[in-house]
Amino acid sequence: MDENPENHALTNIVQKRFDAIRDAIRDEKIIKHPTRLQEILGMTQQERKAFWQDQFTKCIKCYGCIDMCPVYVEEPDGLDLSKWVEKGRVPPPFPLFHLLRAYRVWDTCVLCGECENTCPAQIPLKTIQDFVRYLPPEKVFEVIPGLENEARNEILNFVERRKTSSKRITYDV
């Protein structure tokens, strides 16, 4: 395992997981002990939709994943979570809250996993963060389906605004 040259103190383990899935698909191999990320990438679109719907309906919007995040900072030019999700209210249609949360820290996330560790519903939040951090948004919307067009467009605009200052690395899966 090597240090990630683009973001020091992070390893390249996520890159290796994406590379393994890409190589397995290309070579028509089966990964014997897939990670959650690899399992999801191997699902059909219908299986992904059912998986995420099951995961996101467990969310109680406690904001623990945000409160425990060491890099989540309110920014004036960022995605305004309160515009879309009122704290403590019935969750909006999935996957809005989780994708907005992930994109808020997409370029500063240190992949510590505190969001997932503190989730009382045990939603795979770090896996969502891995997708958001390493895949282009269009691919994220395929891997985590169900986002409405208005929110999708807001995320795409946010990513476009940040593109020039971003340190993101994307992988072809």
Q: Where are the domains of the chain?
A: 45-165
Tokens 């390493």 identify what position? 134
Looking at the chain, how many residues does it have?
Answer: 173
Q: In the prediction, which pLDDT does 158 show? A: 86
| pLDDT tens per residue across span 113-170 | 888 898 999 999 999 998 988 888 999 999 999 888 988 998 898 888 877 666 555 5
3-state secondary structure of 71: coil
| pLDDT tens per residue across span 21-58 | 566 655 656 656 778 888 898 889 999 999 999 998 88
**Spatial distance between the Cα atoms of 10 and 80, rounded to a whole number of angstroms:** 28
Query: Are residues 148 and 93 in contact, defined by beta-carbon separation less than 8 angstroms?
Result: yes
pLDDT at residue 10 tops 60: no
